[in-house]
Structure 1
Amino acid sequence: MSPTTVRSATRSPQQRLILAIAITASFVAFLDMSVVTVALPAIVDDLGGGLTTQQWTVDAYLLTLGSLILVAGSVSDAFGRQRVLRIGLILFGIASVAIAAAPTSEVLIAARLLQGVAGAMLVPSSLALITSTFDGAERGRAIGTWTAATAGAMVAGPLLGGLAVDLASWRLAFVINVLPIAVALLLLERVEVRDVRWDDAHVDLVSAALCAVGLGGAVFALIEQPNLGWSDPAVWGAGLGGTAVFAWFVWRQSRIAQPMLPLALFAARNFAWGNLSTLLVYGALGLNGFVVSVYLQERAGLTATAAGLSTMPITLALIVLSSRAGAVAGRVGPRLFMTWGPITMAGGSLLLLTVGEPFSYWTQVLPGVLLFGVGLAATVSPLTAAVLGAVDSSRAGIGSAVNNAIARVASLVAVAALGAVVGGQLDLAGFHRAAVFVGVLLALGGVVSWLGIRNPAAPDPA
């Protein structure tokens, strides 16, 4: 069956309903990403496990999310966007309740793995629902509305999570999203537009499994190495095995007719170099968010709410300035923004080396946070535009999915490597080492952009 698209000069009630569903479903996934970091110290206080438990709490979600987000689009095409979205919402709700009720860290981590599977179903299905319902300029406006609304989750998440931890329990922080899940499910019952399915959609479960197993082995080795040592067979065996399986996954993508990861996309210069920059920049972002939130609570003595608010200037700068940076980069090209944005963020990270004892947020943290926010706002939109602008418009969907998956995997690997970076303990010296490591990753991201990104040629006036 071919997809049907609702076309109207103005949004119909059904279009508004579908946009509300897409926003609410995506809000759930983004909210959880921003809630978890402020809850990490409280989780360890309750369940134990130290830094390793904190790393697995973050990485279990990112592992299944990053591994499956590429295949989730195919699942959505094969079984219907609305159906997959409904299943994803239900699974996310079940996993959230399981996390909140987890008696041990092992149960929590298993539930986080399930939550990542559900998250991989939500975001691609939400976007696919929009693209199959809206057309032309109205589609662009709908996606813009979706982007702006879901950005609110990044503002609300740390604050809501911090308040939940401080006023009640870290467990409450994971059931905040039950209400928006219920709302999205109720709204789905009112949809009258026929669901979209493609009879020739191909779901490559073998590639998805290879990707998950390969990344899982590498992540296990990186997280457990500080505890067991590289000489332990479980560590080096998982590391080598995971690397080999992931190499098999990449090799398979070059051989099959309908790859989950189309390697041909990387023949476009800006797509290849832009994704390399994404790997470095988003790895630094994931590690920075983890380290700052945990250190400010465990070592500097801030409450969970205060720790959540401490990095709010970064999100606000992103919301206020990123569209303007994107507009200017659209006129002059993305190369300069993608170079100086990450380098500016690197400067903000290195300013965190002033953190010491006695601790002062206003003089030791805020200056770096502000500089970091400005650099991030200058980077995100031009980076996305450069990557997606390098592929044909007919392949923008898979191009976006690949870039999103690389960003998630970058955070996954960076957080997994934290123990090796800080020496197994996030004390002041470890915090400083992490700040330097984040700064180096960001500076390399800027250098890669300068060397590899090319501004599009100006249109011929004739």
Structure 2
Amino acid sequence: MLASSLAFIDGSVTNVALPAIGKNLGGTAGDLSWAINAYLLPLSALLLIGGALGDHYGRRRMLVIGVALFTAASIGCALSPSLAAFLAFRALQGIGAALLMPNSLGILGSAFEGEARGRAVGTWAAAGAIASAIGPPLGGWLIDVVGWRSIFYLNVPVAVSAIVIFMRFVAETDRGQDVLDWRGAVLATGGLGALTWTLTAWSTRHDVTAAMAAGATAGIAFMVLFVLNERRLQDKAMMPLVLFGSKAFVGLTVLTFLLYGALGGLLMLLPYLLIVGSGYSPTQAGLALLPFSIVVGLASRLAGRTTEAIGPRWPLTIGPIVTGVGFALLVQADPQASYWTSVLPGMAIIAFGMAGAVAPLTTAVLASVDERHTGTASGFNSAISRTGGLIATSLAGAVISRTGDDLIGAFQTGAVISAACAAAAGITAWFTLGGTEKSA
């Protein structure tokens, strides 16, 4: 929970800090979207190999390495003298997060079974939500009082505590006996990296250059070769294709992409809208997100237990649809109107919907695969969620480049799109999920 909280805190705090970072280090609105995408790009590209490395070499070992790398990069972000240096350290943070995120969940998946797993994942999700809740107001206050650089030092005490606990109390998991699929790892990383770079580059220019076309072509070619390689290796593959023989696993993948894509765009755009459009301070913008994280944190453990009792189909159908209703209500968001009437109602409903989906989704993914592949499945699902967030953040660059009424209108359009994606996620769950189904 401490390890995963690093990524949750960093994501929520950085969204609040974007205007201050842009003012201090310079850069256009497109450059500000890179402050998020420079982190998400390597995270999306490397999550799959991060989970596979944990399955093969030991999840505790990869977790400790990921936390240490993430912390060193956080200090680098705080000390960055320029935007270029800051973006480089943000990318290094993404690499560290790609190691710690899937192995955190992989350890939970291998340490608990049945109803206990649901409670454990619910507690994990609640801790992440609490960390996300603490991050924006605390980070906003630090930005106001000390400066934006101070927010990256928040990671240091959390990381030190996590490493001490790992080494003293967490047993190392069994190592895989098969040779690691390095060819698959290189192909997957190259493919995901090329595709996400192309998308991010396009979002800052909104036209297609020769380099972007080459990047997209290379990314598609790498991914085709990756699928062929995994098919040839069968059970020895880093990402066994037999996992996709499960309708439930495929459904969970589509659901994750749609739901977290919608959520990722909101969590970046709403604080920016409030700060730039309404003159909120970073502290006030952070507090505006507080209801979301509090509700998710309080309800996630209950949602995890409920999933173990009734299965994932109902929670993962109702939760995203309720979330979609909340996004639809944000169409009335107006930074000049009262927060209590224009923003809070939508945020509260989104929070209740996500509270019903976060822990059940994670539990369902871990339960849908054999224990040998929990790290890989967790890494893949996390990669899908981050890729959804990456796409949303890339498209959000077109929103934050607007001002005045155009900014409000663009935000409202994004809210409609998010509502449609969330509703589609719930419909996907209804048609693809039944009882718990092991796929490998």
TM-score interval, smaller chain: 0.7 to 0.9
- Equivalent residue number for residue 245 of structure 1: 222
Unaligned runs of 5+ in 1: 1-22, 458-462
Amino acid at match of 2:159: I
Partner Cα distance (2:124, 2:327) in 1: 30
Cα distance, 1:289 vs structure 2: 0.7
| Cα gap change, 1:251 to 1:59, in 2 (>3 Å) | farther
| Cα gap change, 1:448 to 1:91, in 2 (>3 Å) | same
Contact 1:230 1:236 in 2 (8 A): no
Contact 1:65 1:119 in 2 (8 A): yes
Cα distance, 1:272 vs structure 2: 1.1
- Equivalent residue number for residue 420 of structure 2: 440
Partner Cα distance (1:349, 1:136) in 2: 33
| Cα gap change, 1:403 to 1:134, in 2 (>3 Å) | closer
Instruction: Tell me the alpha carbon deviations over residues 396-440 of structure 1, each in whole angstroms, 9 at most, x when there is no partner.
Output: 4433332222212221222123345x4953611211121112112
Select 1:103's aligned residue among 81, 92, 95: 81
Cα distance, 1:188 vs structure 2: 5.5
Most deviating of 269-278 and 396-405: 396-405
Amino acid at match of 2:214: G
Contact 1:63 1:113 in 2 (8 A): yes
Partner Cα distance (2:358, 2:102) in 1: 19
- Equivalent residue number for residue 277 of structure 2: 299
Q: Does 1:32 align with 2:10?
A: yes
SS in 2 for 1:176: helix
- Equivalent residue number for residue 4 of structure 1: none
Select 1:184's aligned residue among 162, 170, 181: 162
- Equivalent residue number for residue 432 of structure 2: 452
Cα distance, 1:28 vs structure 2: 2.3
Q: Does 1:429 align with 2:406?
A: no
Select 1:255's aligned residue among 222, 227, 232: 232
| Cα gap change, 1:114 to 1:337, in 2 (>3 Å) | same
Partner Cα distance (1:132, 1:337) in 2: 23
Cα distance, 1:285 vs structure 2: 1.1
Most deviating of 378-387 and 363-372: 378-387
Instruction: Tell me the alpha carbon deviations over residues 332-384 of structure 1, each in whole angstroms, 9 at most, x when there is no partner.
Output: 44333322322221121121121236332111100100111111122223333
Report the count of equivalent residues: 433
- Equivalent residue number for residue 206 of structure 1: 183
Amino acid at match of 2:195: A
Select 2:207's aligned residue among 221, 225, 230: 230
Partner Cα distance (2:306, 2:166) in 1: 38
| Cα gap change, 1:187 to 1:268, in 2 (>3 Å) | closer
| Cα gap change, 1:119 to 1:106, in 2 (>3 Å) | same
Partner Cα distance (1:101, 1:302) in 2: 26
Partner Cα distance (1:451, 1:142) in 2: 27
The structure with the greater share of residues assigned to helix is 2
Partner Cα distance (1:407, 1:354) in 2: 27
Select 2:330's aligned residue among 352, 359, 365: 352
| Cα gap change, 1:58 to 1:167, in 2 (>3 Å) | same
Cα distance, 1:57 vs structure 2: 1.6
Contact 2:273 2:335 in 1 (8 A): no
- Counterparts of residues 121-136 of structure 1 (less than 5 Å): 121-127=99-105
Alpha-carbon RMSD: 3.0
- Counterparts of residues 16-95 of structure 1 (less than 5 Å): 23-95=1-73
Contact 2:12 2:267 in 1 (8 A): no
Instruction: Tell me the alpha carbon deviations over residues 98-151 of structure 1, each in whole angstroms, 9 at most, x when there is no partner.
Output: 111112222111111111111122234445556777899887766665554444
- Equivalent residue number for residue 460 of structure 1: none
Cα distance, 1:77 vs structure 2: 4.6
Instruction: Tell me the alpha carbon deviations over residues 27-69 of structure 1, each in whole angstroms, 9 at most, x when there is no partner.
Output: 3233222221111111111122233222222122222222222
Unaligned runs of 5+ in 2: none
Partner Cα distance (2:206, 2:423) in 1: 30
Contact 1:71 1:204 in 2 (8 A): no
Contact 2:299 2:356 in 1 (8 A): yes
| Cα gap change, 1:95 to 1:227, in 2 (>3 Å) | closer
| Cα gap change, 1:170 to 1:246, in 2 (>3 Å) | farther
Contact 1:93 1:177 in 2 (8 A): yes
TM-score norm. by structure 2 comes to: 0.87
Contact 1:77 1:201 in 2 (8 A): no
| Cα gap change, 1:321 to 1:94, in 2 (>3 Å) | closer
Amino acid at match of 1:210: L
Cα distance, 1:185 vs structure 2: 4.0
SS in 2 for 1:261: coil
Q: Does 1:267 align with 2:218?
A: no
TM-score norm. by structure 1 comes to: 0.83
- Counterparts of residues 263-342 of structure 1 (less than 5 Å): 263-342=241-320
Cα distance, 1:174 vs structure 2: 1.0
SS in 1 for 2:356: helix
Cα distance, 1:392 vs structure 2: 4.2
Larger RCO (alpha carbons 8 Å, 6+ apart): 2
Cα distance, 1:259 vs structure 2: 2.2
Most deviating of 28-37 and 191-200: 191-200
- Equivalent residue number for residue 216 of structure 1: 193
Q: Does 1:390 align with 2:368?
A: yes
Q: Rg larger in 1 or in 2?
A: 1
